[in-house]
């Protein structure tokens, strides 16, 4: 008796994902705008009391890095060229870059203005070997945008991102299939995305210095120590990542901060600033057709001690008046020190798509939302300062 014919299923193509990351993006655009800056330490960022957005590689030799307070940067590099930034130029450059990536794959995921993933799986018949396509993109960015990018190519997003940072600036690193764990093993554990200062300290306390060290820790022990995140760490340490490159950007939070020119103690000024920040994040929330449940207020004192406090609403909202009350209550409860404040911020998270069906018995919220939408339209046409609210009493 003959057996049934076996069914041969075609194997799925090995994924080929590239992570492309501009090198010192904002500073590089400024150098293109003004070639006399080349060879000089260039720092792009906020005012005297702001933070560094980008430092070029010359400035980094002096210890200047992103997110560093500008005052610290000026102490380390007093002869640097400090530029507030020309963000319209950065957005335009980023748009051209993303358009270029779209010519090679429909699966492009923008992570920020200066970095993106592109899935090159299955593009061989159109453009040739995917690794060569990634090299071509790197060359095109250099020729057409006059900018440098670093590229990592691997079988998943995690390893591709680590690889793009491996030989910056201008690096090109390929991690072949099956060598993900070997590539990661000797790297410092903080090279893994998602490991910040607090987690790094805890890992070091446990004798974990490299990614290889982390890979040796049994997954169940990591889960005991860090919950579900511990299990994810075990996968990352082995170079495992099943996330897809998704063209749809998922907005996880919307936030705004304001750093005062001088430290502030006046409650009316502080609260009117919070009202303005809340208006802005709510306007952006509505523009994205989203609602939020969680409100967070950030308070930074003159000695740089920073506190955040949050509250989650029973249901998601997108109405200014609701969040004004929440933000001011959080601020009044959270400000427990007598120090002056240098920064305040407002964030909305726990976002969901806008629920267009309003509560049948709630007559006030729809009217307030209608007011907000009209104010949005006025600000869109005449500028965000066309209509402003002051601090609220009570």
Active-site amino acid positions: 115
Contact 371, 283 (CB under 8 A): no
Largest CA distance in the chain: 92
Q: Over the chain, what HEC string results? A: CCCCCCCCCCCCCCCCEEEEEECCHHHHHHHHHCHHHCCCCEEEECCCCCEEEEECHHHHCCCCCCCCEHHHHHHHCCCCEEECCCHHHHHHHHHHHHHHHHCCCCCEEEEECCEEEEECCCCHHHHCCHHHHHHHHHHHHHHHHCCCEEEEEECCHHHHHHHHCCCCCCCEEECCCCCHHHHHCCCEHHHCCCCCHHHHHHHHHCCCCEHHHHHHCCHHHHHHHHCHHHHHHHHHHCCCCCCCCCCCCCCCEEEEEEEEEEEECCHHHHHHHHHHHHHHHHHHHHHCCEEEEEEEEEEEECCCCEEEEEEEEEEEECCHHHHHHHHHHHHHHHCCCCCCEEEEEEEEEEEEECCCCCCCCCCHHHHHHHHHHHHHHHHHHHCCCCCCCCCCCC
């Amino acid at each position: 008796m003959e057996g049934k014919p076996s069914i041969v299923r075609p194997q799925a193509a090995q994924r080929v994902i590239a992570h492309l990351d501009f090198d010192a993006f904002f500073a590089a655009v400024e150098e293109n705008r003004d070639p006399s800056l080349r060879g000089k330490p260039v720092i792009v960022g906020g005012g005297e009391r702001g933070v560094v957005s980008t430092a070029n590689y010359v400035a980094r030799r002096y210890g200047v890095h992103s997110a560093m307070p500008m005052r610290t940067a000026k102490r380390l590099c007093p002869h640097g060229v400090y530029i507030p930034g020309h963000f319209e130029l950065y957005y335009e450059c980023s748009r051209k870059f993303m358009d270029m990536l779209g010519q090679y794959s429909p699966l492009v995921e923008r992570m920020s203005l200066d970095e993106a993933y592109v899935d090159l799986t299955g593009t061989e018949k159109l453009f040739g070997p995917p690794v060569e396509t990634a090299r071509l993109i790197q060359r095109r960015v250099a020729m057409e945008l006059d900018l440098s990018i670093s590229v990592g190519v691997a079988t998943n997003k995690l390893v591709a991102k680590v690889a793009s940072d491996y030989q910056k600036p201008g690096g090109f690193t390929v991690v072949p299939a099956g060598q993900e764990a070997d590539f990661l093993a000797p790297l410092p554990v903080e090279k893994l995305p998602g490991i910040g200062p607090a987690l790094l300290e805890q890992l070091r306390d446990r004798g974990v210095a490299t990614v290889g060290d982390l890979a040796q820790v049994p997954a169940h022990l990591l889960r005991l120590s860090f919950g579900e995140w511990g299990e994810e760490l075990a996968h990352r340490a082995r170079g495992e990542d099943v996330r897809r490159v998704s063209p749809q950007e998922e907005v996880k939070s919307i936030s705004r901060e304001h750093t005062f020119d001088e430290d502030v103690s006046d409650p009316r000024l502080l609260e009117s600033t919070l009202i303005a920040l809340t208006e802005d994040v709510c306007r952006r929330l509505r523009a994205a057709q989203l609602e939020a449940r969680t409100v967070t207020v950030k308070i930074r004192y003159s000695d740089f001690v920073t506190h955040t406090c949050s509250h989650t609403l029973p249901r998601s909202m997108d109405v200014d008046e609701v969040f004004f009350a929440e933000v001011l209550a959080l601020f009044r409860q959270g400000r427990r020190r007598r120090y002056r404040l240098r920064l305040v911020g407002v964030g909305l998270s726990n976002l969901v798509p806008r629920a267009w069906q309003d509560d049948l018995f709630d007559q006030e919220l729809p009217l307030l939302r209608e007011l907000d939408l009209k104010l949005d339209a006025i600000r869109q046409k005449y500028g965000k300062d066309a209509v402003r609210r002051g601090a609220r009493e009570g």
